[in-house]
Amino acid sequence: MSRSQLAPGVEVVAVPGRDLAVRTAEGEFLSVRTQDADKDALLSRLAGATTAPADDELHRVVRAFEQAGYLTDEPQHPEWPAARRGIRLLGDPVLTEPLAAHLAALGAVPHTTSAAPAPEASPRDLDDLLHEDPAAVVWCLDGPVPDGLWDAADMLPERGVAWLRCHREGWQAYVEPLAAAPGDVTSAHIRARRLAATPAHRELAAYWSGPRTSGAPVRLTVPAAGLLAALLADDLRRWAIDAPDAPGSGGLPARRRLRRVDLRTLTVTEHPVLPVPEAATMPKTKPKTKPKKDG
């Protein structure tokens, strides 16, 4: 058998008075018909024992687990590839500090740009973003995104650098999809899609461009900042190890979803988002000339 043990999240339980049952990674229970198979040998085999199935019935059950995708031979915690370890972090420390801690624990090498808050809200050119040859650039804002701030960063995927970002608008935070290749969703695409999806597009555009009048400020709590950092770190880890999209995520690929986080309840909702195609230009046509009359 090529796969040796139950995949992460898959468990087998003995049901009193009945046969075995498998609990899938999605949390569903399925009955397992073992017939005359040795249950102890089966459970030992599914737990990772290297002994081969002793009889045909045991072999059949193990084979059924493998075909259903419930077995794996992959390491449960693959290492972060060396070529993708360098991660540059920009933005507000309330978000970049917990993110850096998560990334370091996962095996990445985060580099936080130390600068005062004001310069972090200023545009940067592409050469500056590519300084020290990062594998990915992450930009986190504890506030709305000023017009033009991320224009240069949107060109990072065309240079082979992954691009991930998040920002806060009042009590709502947005974790945008990671862009890793030309044609992926950029911050400009997100803004265009959000404007197109709301009847209050003029108000939203005005909110982004400012100025805004606020009362008591919204403060990111430690749990809220930790949640946002964890979502970003997980996206980066999945990109780094080329992990497949998790099943049960609503069918939305990670690079085609926008996540909205309610900072009051820490509720995360996902919304599909696609790149915005470039507007087709009208073909240029020569004006028709009227035939000249004789005489």
Mean pLDDT of the chain: 87
Which homologous superfamily does the CATH classification assign to the domain defined by 82-272? NAD(P)-binding Rossmann-like Domain (3.40.50.720)
102 close to 75: Cβ distance less than 8 angstroms: no
Domain boundaries, the chain: 5-72, 82-272
Task: Convert the pLDDT of each residue in 217-248 to its tens digit.
Answer: 899 999 999 999 999 999 999 999 998 876 54
Q: Residue 283: pLDDT band by 50, 70, 90 thresholds?
A: low
Q: What is d(CA 121, CA 144) in angstroms, rounded to the nearest whole number?
A: 10
Residue 80 has pLDDT above 90, yes or no: yes
Q: What is the mean pLDDT of residues 268-284?
A: 79
Fill in the amino acid letter for 182. Answer: P
Q: What is the DSSP string of 119-180?
A: HHTS---HHHHTTT--SEEEEEESSPPPTTTTTTGGGGGGGT-EEEEEEEETTEEEEPPPB-
Q: What is the pLDDT of residues 94-146, one digit of tens each?
A: 999 999 999 999 999 999 975 444 445 567 899 999 999 999 999 999 999 99
Could you report the per-residue pLDDT of 44-65, keeping only the tens digit for each? 888 877 665 567 888 888 888 8
CA nearest neighbour of 169 among 136, 196, 191: 191
Q: What is residue 8's predicted lDDT score, i.e. its pLDDT?
A: 87
Q: Report pLDDT for 266.
A: 98
Q: Give burial (CB, 10 Å; 0-12/13-18/19+) of 27.
A: exposed
**Three-state helix/strand/coil letters over 243-283:** CCCCCCCCCCCHHHEEEEEECCCCEEEEEECCCCCCCCCCC
Q: If you write DSSP's letter for every residue of 56-77 in order, what string do you get? A: HHHHHHHHHHHHTT-EE-S-SS
More confident residue, 75 or 282: 75
Q: Summarize pLDDT for 179-225 with one digit per residue, the tens.
A: 999 999 999 999 999 999 999 999 999 999 988 888 888 999 999 99
250 pLDDT band, cuts 50/70/90, is: low
